[in-house]
A = this chain, B = another copy of it.
Amino acid sequence: MELPDPPWRTGARKPVRQPLSRDKIVDTALGLLEKEGIEALSMRRVAQALNTGPASLYAHVRNRDELCELMFDRVLGDVELPEADPARWRDQLKELCFGQVKAMIAYPGIAAVVMNAMIPAGPNALRHGEAMLAILRAGGLSESQAAWAFDALGLYGKAYAVEVTSWRDGSQEEMAERARQMTEYVRSLPAGTFPNLIAIGPLFSAQTAHERFEFAIDTFIAGLDALIKA
């Protein structure tokens, strides 16, 4: 006959320590970001998802910023990098920009987080830098021109990803409401106060996002072209 467990026995031993790893942490954090957005990206939430405490993460990542950088670099790894071809530099540049932005958009908030980070310096970030510079150089830009173009495209791409992501996520209703109020307000002013804003207001929506991005990249490439031909 089995006796019931005596009360001084504390029950099942705590399960064996779960070994963590940097990859595991990054994976988990990216999963959270993808599913729940930037608000879910706290050390506690990540740790919780890994069935541990936030302090455990610090054995593998220096701090939250480093976690974000690692995540960003992982995200960049999803992008295919073209081999620079002088005959196709325009398309390749465009392709690369589109790829970067697409990858960022897949993870709401990553662009915003990385915007404030240090120079991206992970392996994939370096590859991206090299690939873009190679394309720009293949197109005939000087070293400094390529460097500045690289900087501008990177900045704009991230900013655009931030914008698109904010149009898309949970605050969409809020943004629509703000847009509506703005329209109302602007229209309520004396005629002729903001005629251009009134005219273009309806053009801005999540549906025109890609068009905006493409326009910007095409325009910039046209400008680089003019530079090369001068």
Contacts and interface: CB of A to CB of B under 8 A. Distances in A.
Given A116-B162, A146-B196, A159-B159, A152 B222 contact: no
Q: State how many copies of this chain the complex holds.
A: 2
Interface residues of A, number: 62
A154 B61 CA distance: 34
A9 to B, nearest CB: 48
A129 B197 contact: yes
Interface stretch (A17-25, A41-49, A92-100, A211-219): A211-219
Contacts of A148: 211-212, 215-216
A126 interface: yes
A58 interface: no
Classify the interface of chain A: helix, strand, loop or mixed: helix
Nearest to A127: B194
A207 interface: no
A208 to B, nearest CB: 8
B119 A199 contact: no
A206 interface: no
A219 B216 contact: no
A201 to B, nearest CB: 9
Given A118-B175, A197-B130, A200-B133, A216 B144 contact: no
Interface string A132-162: 0110010000011111111110011011101
A196 B137 contact: yes
Contact of A200 (B115, B144, B155, B203): B144
A149 B144 CA distance: 25
A209 to B, nearest CB: 9
